[in-house]
């Protein structure tokens, strides 16, 4: 996961304003960026055909604001996951039921009897 600085977030927002989804792609959310780009194209076509021009501009503004809000939320969620205290990481391992090898420190899948790395008996 890439650390998000304020400068990168600002640049991503500028890219999102220029072309829908481009900022998401810049922040390594490629699939989400492509979906947003295709959605913007589809919404643009449908709205321009069915609604008056003033209302279509309002819909485009709302979509861009949502897109920027989504990008900010993703960056905040990523920052929180990077600054998660060590005690929460240990409880996550317990909740995932990973078998921790006392000899080499390797995390093995749930239900493993032997360590994948050193072969030590886990139980």
What's the pLDDT tens digit per position in 57-88?
A: 888 889 989 999 999 999 888 888 777 665 55
All structural domains of the chain with their residue ranges: 6-83, 85-123
pLDDT score for 59: 86
Top pLDDT among 123 and 37 is at 37
Q: What residues does 100 pair with on adjacent strands?
A: 107
User: Per-residue pLDDT averaged across 11-19, rounded?
Assistant: 91
- CB of 24 within 8 A of CB of 12? yes
């Amino acid at each position: 996961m890439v650390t998000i600085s304020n400068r990168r977030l600002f640049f991503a927002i500028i890219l999102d304003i220029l072309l829908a989804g481009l900022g998401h792609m810049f922040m390594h959310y490629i699939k989400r960026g492509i979906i947003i780009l295709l959605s913007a194209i589809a919404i643009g076509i449908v709205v321009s055909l069915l609604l008056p021009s003033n209302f279509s501009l309002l819909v485009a503004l709302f979509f861009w604001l949502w897109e920027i809000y989504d990008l900010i939320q993703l960056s905040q969620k990523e920052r929180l996951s990077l600054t998660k205290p060590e005690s929460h990481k240990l409880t996550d391992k317990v909740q995932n039921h990973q078998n921790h090898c006392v000899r080499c420190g390797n995390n093995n899948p749930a239900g493993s009897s032997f360590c994948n790395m050193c072969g030590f008996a886990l139980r």
